[in-house]
Structures are given as C-alpha cells and as structure tokens.
Amino acid sequence: MALPSASLLAQSILSGLFIGALYGLLGLGLSLSWGLLRQINLAHFALAFLGAYLCYQLSSVGGMDPLATMLVIVPGFFGIGVALQWVFSRFRISPFNSLLVTFGLTVIIESVIQSLWTADFRRLNSSYGDITFRIGALYVPLPELLTLVLSLVMSLAIWATLRHTDLGRAMRAAAQDGGIATAFGVNQKGLALLLSGVCAALAGVAGVCIALSYTLAPAQIYAWIGVVFAAVMLGGLGRALGPLIAGIVIGVSESITMAITAPSWAPLVSFSLLIVVLLVRPGKV
C-alpha cells in the first residue's frame, strides 16, 4: 500500500471528478423522478444504455457526429418518458411497484439491445475520443470533459428551473401534495408527463456521454445501478445539484481508493459511505 506520487494522485482525483460527473448525470433523472414523481425508475439505466447504443449506431454506421445524435435521441427519449408516466399514472403504481415494473422494462430493453447489437463489446470510434488536453502534468481527455460540462449544465439548468421559475415551483408543490396543488390550479398530470419526459431525455444525454467514453455491453446496465443509487441517496431525493455533488464525492473517493489500494476495493468506499450516511442521518435523504 505505497503512497502514490503527487501527480498520480492529482490525475486520480481528476478522473474521479470525471466519473463522478457521469454518476451525477445518470443520477439526476433518477433523483428527479424518485423525489418529485415518487417513482424508482430502474429502467433509467437501461434507457441510458439504449441511448448509448443509438449514439454508437447513428455515428459509426450512420455517420453522424456523436454529439449531433442528441438531436434525435433527446426528443425520442422524451416521448418514451411521457409514455412511461402515462402508464404509471393510469395504473396508480406505488413507488415500490414502480421499481419492479421498471426492472421488467430494464430486462426487456436489455434483450432488445442484445438481439440488435449482440452481447459483444462495442466501442464508438469518434473524432473526439483521440483528443486529450494537457494541463501541466495532468491529462484531460475531451470525452470526459464533455461529460463534466454536460452534467454541470444540465444540473444547473434544472436547479434554476425548479428554484426560480413558476413551472419549477408548481412541480415542487405537486410533488409535496398533488391534491392540494391541483386545487390551486396546478396541472399535476401535465407536469408529471413533462418531468418524466425530461428524466428520460436526461438518460439519453447520459447515454451519449457513456458512448463517448466507455466500451458498451448489454450486461453493463447493471454495473452502474448500485453506485448511482448511492449518489442519488447521498445527494438527497428530488434535488438537482445533489446527485452531481454526491457523485463527485463518490467518484473522487473511489479514485483515491484505487490509487492507494487496488481498483477492486473501490465499491467498498461508496457503499460503506451510503450505509453510514443512511444509519447516521436517515432523515436527510
């Protein structure tokens, strides 16, 4: 357990920041739908990977710029989110059952991905992938930087919307007490459809980021669930900036753990952190 050099440690912290930004981006949609719609949307991960595969397909086969694929993916996923919410409200699904239903959806999406793109690894070879900036002794790969920027922009935009606009206030009111909010003229059903659409669109954005930086495989869907849930819980449900901040805390602490010990120890940090926070401050999540 030798202490790594200062530059290696700094590089680890930087890469922790980048992966944390992706945790935050993935967690954002999850946290909003959990906190404001009372749905635990496990399918968020499957949607993100579906987005990643679509980005891969459109840019490596269709020849589109990977970032431009968002023009297709975001509106399409918005529609999926709206449809999902319509089903959920139609059947009045409890939070826990939403978890089970969306797990079913996850499995279906996984099989669709597997039958379309096989279980083999897929890697998007984009022009962005080769670009790396150098700041002093630190390397900054462009795809990761893009992820960080997108994650920051999305989180801040949603934070500002929820906090400072009438639309956001109406959404928070509807989340606290739907009946009362409706009585005061808030169109709760419409807002829920909109919010669910936004959450699914966020999954699409996260998918593009995943495609830019990671190798894709259908089984990877499940690899992210634990740690992103940890970020969502630590960040506080329904808070726009929470997942990003908590994601970065988790990402950085994982990277430092990896640098000091071995990479396989990394999950211990995030999940122990989650358990301790839940035990010590359960009212805060």
Partner 1 sequence: MTRGFAAILIAGGGLAVIPLAGLPPFYESFLYLVFHWIVLATSWNIFSGYSGYFSFGHGAFFGAGMYTTAYLASRFEVPFLSTLPVAAGVAMLLGGTLGAIVFRVREIRGELFALVTLAFTFVVGTIVLNTPIDGGPGIYLSAVPVPAIGPTGASSFYYMGLVLALGTVLVALVVFHSRLGAGLFAVHDDEDVAEVLGVPTYRYKIAAFSLSCGLAGVAGGIQALFLSYVTAGETFSIIVPLTVVLMCVLGGTRHWAGPVVGAAAITSLLYAFTAGNHPVAGKAVFGAVLIVVILFMPEGLLGRLPKRRMVGAYELGTPTNGAIATGSALPVGHPSPTRELLLDVRGLRKAFRGVQALDGVDIEIRRGEILGLLGPNGSGKSTFINLVSGHFRPDAGKIRFDGRNLAVLEAHAVARSGIARTYQIPRPFAHLTVRENVATAAMFGSANLARAAAVRDAHHWLEFTDLASFANALPDDLNLHQRKFLELARALSSRPRLLLLDEVLSGLTPTEIDGAVDLIRAIRDQGTTIVFVEHVMRAVMALTDRIVVLNHGQVIADGNAAEIMESAEVVSAYLGYSGTYA
Q: Which positions lie near partner 1, rule CB under 8 A?
A: 40, 87, 91, 93-97, 99-101, 103-108, 110-112, 114-115, 222, 225-226, 229-230, 233, 262, 264-268, 271-272, 274-275, 278-279, 282-283, 285
Q: Considering beta carbons, is residue 18 or 224 the nearer one to partner 1?
A: 224
Question: What is 165-213 written as a DSSP string?
Answer: SHHHHHHHHHHH-HHHHHHTT--HHHHHHHHHHHHHHHHHHHHHHHHHH
CB of 283 to partner 1, least distance (A): 6
Q: Considering beta carbons, is residue 90 or 134 the nearer one to partner 1?
A: 90
The sign of the CA dihedral 249, 252, 255, 257 is negative
Q: Considering beta carbons, is residue 34 or 78 the nearer one to partner 1?
A: 34
* Cβ-Cβ contacts under 8 Å for 284 (sequence gap 6 or more): 236, 277
Q: Considering beta carbons, is residue 127 or 272 the nearer one to partner 1?
A: 272
CB of 171 to partner 1, least distance (A): 21
CB of 183 to partner 1, least distance (A): 20
Task: Write down how long the chain is.
Answer: 285
CB of 267 to partner 1, least distance (A): 5
d(CA 252, CA 157): 24
Q: Considering beta carbons, is residue 122 or 169 the nearer one to partner 1?
A: 122
- 3-class secondary structure, 127: coil
Residue 65: how many CB atoms within 10 A of its CB?
13
